[in-house]
Amino acid sequence: DGGITQSPKYLFRKEGQNVTLSCEQNLNHDAMYWYRQDPGQGLRLIYYSQIVNDFQKGDIAEGYSVSREKKESFPLTVTSAQKNPTAFYLCASSIADRGDNEQFFGPGTRLTVL
Amino acid sequence: AQTVTQSQPEMSVQEAETVTLSCTYDTSESDYYLFWYKQPPSRQMILVIRQEAYKQQNATENRFSVNFQKAAKSFSLKISDSQLGDAAMYFCAYRTFYNTDKLIFGTGTRLQVFP
């Protein structure tokens, strides 16, 4: 079945540690996105990539980093510089270059900083 | 900058009845896209319906329809014959026509469906 997978579903991190969230898609989509969801704030864009080896900052990129070495994969690293990392993280993908294209979302990763 | 506002944090409806969720947005652009996404308790976002701003006809998908008022910058979602499975968070989202990098989301409306 085609879709987006995110792992792990739940992740716990100690303060000061970096942690990487996985996102993989087999939809052959060019564009991939990372969103952060906090209670009462909707989704906010962290990073996006429209092609392999290229990515752009979104609205809240500080404290995060990404890579796009393969079309299928777009991992997100939450660094120790992120002041309030506890949140729900959603990865999405779409066919690039058209605004009406649906973004398909993964099931998300809940990150908790202890 | 574009903004999306959902002024109803929570709504409730009885099974088989109709409910309307409100969404307003602010933009200076004339061409854009609007979306309603559903987030059930599983938390996976699912596209419900989309509307192109250049189309005057309101989009419809089975029991879901929108009332798109471009001049008023309003984009409400009507759910007819509500079912228990419709219970979820609903997010309104905006995307520009030319800059396809992101969706701009509202804060969501939690819909409860009572039997």
Which residues on A lie below 8 Å from B61 (Cβ)? none
More confident residue, B95 or B19: B19
Answer whether A17 touches B (CB < 8 Å): no
Q: Which residues contact A96 (CB under 8 A, 6 or more apart)?
A: A29, A30, A31, A50, A51, B100
Query: What confidence category does residue A99 fall into, taking pLDDT thresholds of 50, 70 and 90?
Result: low
Determine, for residues A106 and B44 on separate chains, whether the beta-carbon distance falls below 8 Å: yes
Q: Token pair of A44, please?
A: 């906010």
Q: Is the pLDDT of residue B55 over 80?
A: yes
Give percent above pLDDT 90 in chain A: 74
Determine, for residues A42 and B100 on separate chains, whether the beta-carbon distance falls below 8 Å: no
The β-bridge relationship of strands B88-96 and B32-39 is antiparallel
Determine, for residues B96 and A99 on separate chains, whether the beta-carbon distance falls below 8 Å: yes
Q: Which residues contact B1 (CB under 8 A, 6 or more apart)?
A: none
Answer whether B55 touches A (CB < 8 Å): no
Q: Is the pLDDT of residue A10 over 90?
A: yes
Average pLDDT, chain A: 91
Q: Is the pLDDT of residue A69 over 70?
A: yes
Sign of torsion, CA A105 B79 B34 A60? negative
Determine, for residues B42 and A107 on separate chains, whether the beta-carbon distance falls below 8 Å: yes
Determine what percent of chain A falls in helix, strand and coil, rounding each to the nearest 5.
Answer: 0, 50, 50
Average pLDDT, chain B: 94
Instruction: Name the most confidently modeled range: A31-45, A59-73, A89-103, B43-57.
Output: A59-73
Q: Is the pLDDT of residue B98 over 80?
A: no
